[in-house]
């Protein structure tokens, strides 16, 4: 999974973005629509981050979200495999 997938599933991830960065308004999160550079810009504006800090914060968040999504995907595959074998 990569940023393109986050952009494609923005509705799902936007809630997590709002949880992490609560100073972002709903309108801003909607406007961002998965655009990475635009999110970085809003983080700079709302939180006073330098660009490098905003990028680091976003990279860390992205890795956490992608890691969680990958683990969930693996668990789902294991369940399906187990059900097929049990049938």
Token pair, residue 55, equals 């990028």
**Cα distance between residue 37 and residue 19, in whole Å:** 19
Domain extent at residue 21: 3-86
Cα 13 versus chain centre, distance: 5
pTM of the predicted structure, to 2 decimals: 0.76
Reported as a single tens digit per residue, the pLDDT across 30-73 is 999 999 999 999 999 999 999 999 999 999 998 888 887 666 66
CA–CA separation, 8 and 13 (whole Å): 9
Number of domains in the chain: 1
Length of the chain as a residue count: 87
Residue 17 pLDDT > 90: yes
The pLDDT score that the predictor gives to residue 82 is 62
What is the CATH number for 60?
1.10.1470.10
């Amino acid at each position: 999974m990569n940023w393109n997938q986050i952009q494609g599933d923005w509705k799902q991830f936007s809630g997590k973005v709002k949880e992490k960065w609560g100073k972002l308004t709903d309108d801003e999160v909607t406007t961002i629509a998965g655009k990475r550079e635009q999110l970085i810009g809003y983080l700079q504006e709302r939180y006073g981050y330098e660009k490098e800090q905003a990028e680091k914060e976003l990279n860390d968040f992205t890795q956490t979200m992608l890691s969680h999504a990958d683990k969930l995907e693996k668990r789902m595959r294991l369940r399906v495999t187990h059900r097929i074998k049990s049938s």
